A = this chain, B = another copy of it.
């Protein structure tokens, strides 16, 4: 049972009213002019980070960056975070201090307050970060809003994080270690993009998800912006780039460069089998990161 199928099952159990399906849940609140955005992200030793390659501050920073990227994908502003931490015996006081220092530095830079959490002890380190943000009412960017004919865009360049994980050096390793949540870009895209999500698991699986939510197919027929030195497979299927994937009407002007960040059109949304992706005439299978693909 793949991750997509597990999530689909949970979604069915949760009932038709459940907001499961986007990077964040959008919670409406009577009397508020803002909607709330909530996201939770696991950060597990040997799954999302390695003790020997991620220093404590790197780990803390990345644990939070995942959630901030989800808020960015919805066009929101992050406000509070909550950190649940199961500490392994190896994580001493120095490690704990470093972890929170890294996490809090990124939090403060983005106006986010550490507002709570939980602590326990386990054999391996496990962390879950909840981020709560806000967005003007009804303005959240969702995966489901793409229309046939919309252009498909990505920010930045792809495959760098995956390359970095492989060779653990240079700019690509820094890219893997310190992903930069695209919060300003997300807010800029409000009212311009029709659909948006962050690239956490890889373009092929994430675009597949966006297509499924929008009930459309995608045609990729333009050059991908690839990280210098990365291969096409890394750009297509490598996870953790934390760039934004979005769609916009073909008539909407999207600048090629925004605040120094390339915004590249890579294809077009089309009617067809929901979730199907055509890559230069060939069917592209969603091969990005799936925690359960070997189960």
Interface size class of A (residues with CB under 8 A): 35 or more
The answer, among B20, B41, B119, B130, for a CB contact under 8 Å with A6, is B119
Q: Answer yes or no: A224 CB below 8 A from chain B CBs.
A: no
The reply to whether A47 and B122 contact each other, CB–CB distance below 8 Å, is yes
- A130 touching B82 in the complex, CB below 8 Å, given contacts A9-B96, A96-B6, A291-B120: yes
Please choose the segment from A23-31, A256-264, A275-283 that sits at the chain B interface, where 4 or more of its residues have CB less than 8 A away. A23-31
The reply to whether A122 and B126 contact each other, CB–CB distance below 8 Å, is yes
Contacting residues of chain A (20-43) with chain B, CB-CB under 8 angstroms: 20, 24-25, 27, 29, 31-34, 36, 38-42
Residues of B with C-beta under 8 A to A20: 114-117
Q: Answer yes or no: A244 CB below 8 A from chain B CBs.
A: no
Q: Mark A59-83, 1 if CB is under 8 A from B, else 0.
A: 0000000000000000000011011
The 10 A-B pairs at the shortest CB distance, nearest first, are namely A128-B128, A25-B115, A25-B116, A14-B114, A121-B291, A84-B128, A130-B130, A42-B120, A40-B84, A40-B82
Some 22 contacts from A to B, beta carbons below 8 A apart, are A3-B119, A6-B96, A6-B119, A9-B93, A10-B119, A14-B113, A15-B113, A17-B113, A18-B113, A19-B115, A20-B115, A20-B116, A25-B116, A27-B115, A38-B115, A38-B132, A40-B128, A41-B118, A42-B118, A44-B126, A47-B122, A123-B124
